[in-house]
Structure 1
Amino acid sequence: MNDHERNDPFDDLMRRALHDEADRIEPADALPEIRDRAHAQRRSGGRRPWLLTTGVAAVGTAAAIGAFTVFTGAGHTANPGNDGDAVAGSGTTATATAVPQSRPPSVAQPSPAPSVASTDASTGATKASGAPEQAVSNAVVPVYWMGQQVGARKKTATRLYRTWAKVSGRPAEEAVRIMTTKQPEDPDYFTVWRGAAVNTVTRSDGVVTVDFKQLPKARLDADVAQVATQQLVYTVQGALKDDQTPIQVTQGGRSVPKLFGQVDATTPLGRAQAADVQAFVWIESPAEAQVLGEDKVTVAGVANTFEATVNYQATNLKTRETKKSFTSTQEGMKFSPYAFQLTLSPGPWQISVYLVSPADGTITDTDTKSILVK
């Protein structure tokens, strides 16, 4: 927007009128519709058989927007590293343990970016703001998705699952663009941010501001809304490699009263404890739908599990051949890497990792990937 447009009294009046009108809209609870669409879209093939009645898949399909490509994760292993995704953030306890990070490939050095102007949330006046992100070329950033939590008492319980994407441009801005517009490759993952349109990501005075042109209008269950909000926080902080600076959400430069009709967004949002929002087990390699040219497959990921035990099962979807066993994480009772190797015959395979309750033996958490061995 140029200076003339910003200072036009008529435009300012119209913006205020539209904004006031939008504030009076009370969107309905969209979670049932999301769940219905998920059931309709879940593809066949036996994914998460214990979730057939409650699983939630990705909602709708969306075109890829912006300069990014999905990072397949080939050869990507769960080595500890720092991509900004430690557990403890603003408002978390000092005893929280860090989530081990897969180390993304090295990327080009960012180029300097000039400072920009923004709108004062209380007066609507234009004021100086923080600088936007520095642009990079072919950076690998984490993008978080939501997924149904198996074994939870509440059927709508959800958790965050991390994937990786390769972007060119401003890392956090592109990561949010993927999170809000792109379909996750894994059909067990989804996002309720569909329909949002990110504007800028800027930093100043100890706050990262994510400004949206448009925010989702769905009203969600309170617990789901909290996880969905943390999906944004984790994605932005991960892309910035900074898990401490809180995230302020604005729309058109103005503060937002609530996200998804539940979460107070008038003040910056801190990072929740990983144990409260992240999945307790997930697969990082191989990637969903990856085609492998050899029979030896290394499966790697992260889990937080009792006595460091991760169970797994691999099933050939054509012959029904099954391999089942367990492995260990490097440490128990905290988020820690695990890895195991399978020798698989040619064909389509489904690999599942899951946790078992020490109390009653029920499956409590899971992640699944479908691959093709040639």
Structure 2
Amino acid sequence: MPASAGSSATSGVTGAPLETAQTSTKLPVYWLGHSGAGIYLYREFLTMTGDGDPIEAALLTMTSEKPLDGDYFTPWKKPSRLGAAISAKNIITVDISSDAFSTNVDEGIARRALAQLVYTATAAAANAGLIVANQPVHVSLLVDGHTDYLAFGKIKLDQPLVRDSGFVAPVWVIDPQEGTDLGAPFKVSGQGISASGTLVWQLLKVSPEGQKSVFLSGSTIIGTGPGQLGPFEFSVQPPAGSYELRVYSGDPADPADQAGVDSKLIKVS
């Protein structure tokens, strides 16, 4: 993976807004996922167990659990020690043990892994209502209580980290999540970016043998317009069955070109 977001992230994303405070017990956790030749950040909401610190809980989930979506992954290992605190000036301090960095990765994946940690920590803080509005958020990452650690043997942790918008996925289905059992009709929502300001969607019927065929298809408008990261939403009403939902940025001149695909396997009862 290229180390620079600018050279690898073809999405053109220039902003990555924080999550808003929620009243649910769900934890926002970011993962890495393949999209074409690139690897980007995707988020899932997972059930929080216990009543511990939400930042620590989200980071522990990120480093030790598996994502719902099989297309996502994490290069982190479960740390033997993890702590987190947040100041009144929106500085999140994360102290993690060095064994969390034991995976052998190149610099590109190392940078994305650090972005994954920053996004997860800041999302968990915002989701829990711990962020002071209208102030930038920084993450100070300590390893075994010390600064200047060489993360994954590649990147020196000598300054606070912020969200790098270049690693945000160009198309991302937020709801429904992978493996969801739904009634019909149901809404699909997410965020994306495309030159035209529209995205293409397909609902593929999955047979008991695993064969897939397009059952429904259409397009949806990105709320912020062409060339801007923004939300999308549409509804579908299929009969009961197993499906694969796909959303992507299409090329009218080449219907086979599906850029930035995010897909979810779902069931309709």
* TM-score (ref. length: structure 2): 0.81
CA distance 1:266–1:358, change in 2 (3 Å): farther
* SS of residue in 1 equivalent to 2:77: coil
> In the TM superposition, what is the alpha-carbon distance from 1:344 to its structure 2 partner?
0.9
Name the residue aligned to 1:57.
Answer: none
Name the residue aligned to 2:47.
Answer: 166
Name the residue aligned to 1:367.
Answer: 262
Q: Distance in 1 between matches of 2:18 and 2:117?
A: 20
> In the TM superposition, what is the alpha-carbon distance from 1:197 to its structure 2 partner?
3.9
Tell which structure's C-alpha radius of gyration is larger.
1
Are the aligned partners of 1:143 and 1:179 in contact in 2 as well (CA < 8 Å)? yes
Name the residue aligned to 1:313.
Answer: 202
Q: For each residue in 1:230-259, what CA deviation from the matched residue of structure 2 results, as whole angstroms up to 9, or x when unmatched?
A: 000011011112482321222221224221
* TM-score (ref. length: structure 1): 0.59
Q: Are 1:267 and 2:159 matched, yes or no?
A: yes
Name the residue aligned to 2:100.
Answer: 215
Are the aligned partners of 2:16 and 2:168 in contact in 1 as well (CA < 8 Å)? no
Are the aligned partners of 1:142 and 1:238 in contact in 2 as well (CA < 8 Å)? yes
Q: For each residue in 1:193-214, what CA deviation from the matched residue of structure 2 results, as whole angstroms up to 9, or x when unmatched?
A: 1233442102358532211133
CA distance 1:366–1:100, change in 2 (3 Å): farther
Q: Are 1:238 and 2:126 matched, yes or no?
A: no
> In the TM superposition, what is the alpha-carbon distance from 1:141 to its structure 2 partner?
3.2
Are the aligned partners of 2:171 and 2:262 in contact in 1 as well (CA < 8 Å)? yes
> In the TM superposition, what is the alpha-carbon distance from 1:347 to its structure 2 partner?
1.0
Q: Quote the sequence identity (%).
A: 27
Name the aligned partner's letter for residue 102 of structure 2: K
Could you list the runs of 5+ residues in structure 2 that have no partner in the other structure?
2-12
CA distance 1:205–1:298, change in 2 (3 Å): closer
Name the residue aligned to 1:325.
Answer: 218
Q: Are 1:106 and 2:23 matched, yes or no?
A: yes
* SS of residue in 2 equivalent to 1:211: strand
> In the TM superposition, what is the alpha-carbon distance from 1:323 to its structure 2 partner?
1.2
Q: Compute the RMSD of aligned alpha carbons.
A: 2.5
Q: Distance in 2 between matches of 1:343 and 1:100?
A: 32
Q: Distance in 1 between matches of 2:79 and 2:104?
A: 14
Are the aligned partners of 2:188 and 2:234 in contact in 1 as well (CA < 8 Å)? yes
> In the TM superposition, what is the alpha-carbon distance from 1:271 to its structure 2 partner?
2.0
Name the aligned partner's letter for residue 196 of structure 2: E
> In the TM superposition, what is the alpha-carbon distance from 1:105 to its structure 2 partner?
3.9
Q: Distance in 2 between matches of 1:162 and 1:198?
A: 24
> In the TM superposition, what is the alpha-carbon distance from 1:343 to its structure 2 partner?
1.4
CA distance 1:173–1:221, change in 2 (3 Å): same
> In the TM superposition, what is the alpha-carbon distance from 1:356 to its structure 2 partner?
2.5
> In the TM superposition, what is the alpha-carbon distance from 1:215 to its structure 2 partner?
2.2
Q: Distance in 2 between matches of 1:262 and 1:369?
A: 33
Residues 55-134 of structure 1: matches in 2 within 5 Å? 96-99=14-17, 101=19, 105-106=22-23
Q: For each residue in 1:5-54, what CA deviation from the matched residue of structure 2 results, as whole angstroms up to 9, or x when unmatched?
A: xxxxxxxxxxxxxxxxxxxxxxxxxx9xxxxxxxxxxxxxxxxxxxxxxx
Q: Are 1:143 and 2:37 matched, yes or no?
A: no
Counting matched residue pairs gives: 241
Q: Distance in 2 between matches of 1:227 and 1:98?
A: 15
Q: For each residue in 1:67-122, what CA deviation from the matched residue of structure 2 results, as whole angstroms up to 9, or x when unmatched?
A: xxxxxxxxxxxxxxxxxxxxxxxxxxxx9445485x56425xxxxxxxxxxxxxxx
Name the aligned partner's letter for residue 172 of structure 1: I
More strand by share: 2
Are the aligned partners of 2:205 and 2:242 in contact in 1 as well (CA < 8 Å)? yes
Runs of 4+ in 1 over 6 A off after TM superposition: 358-361
Q: Distance in 2 between matches of 1:205 and 1:105?
A: 20
CA distance 1:228–1:98, change in 2 (3 Å): closer
Are the aligned partners of 2:190 and 2:231 in contact in 1 as well (CA < 8 Å)? yes
* SS of residue in 2 equivalent to 1:158: strand
Name the residue aligned to 1:20.
Answer: none
CA distance 1:205–1:372, change in 2 (3 Å): closer
* SS of residue in 2 equivalent to 1:215: helix
Could you list the runs of 5+ residues in structure 1 that have no partner in the other structure?
1-30, 32-94, 108-137
CA distance 1:198–1:236, change in 2 (3 Å): farther
CA distance 1:304–1:256, change in 2 (3 Å): same
CA distance 1:259–1:359, change in 2 (3 Å): farther
Are the aligned partners of 2:205 and 2:214 in contact in 1 as well (CA < 8 Å)? yes
Name the residue aligned to 2:150.
Answer: 258
Match of 2:249 among 325, 347, 355: 355
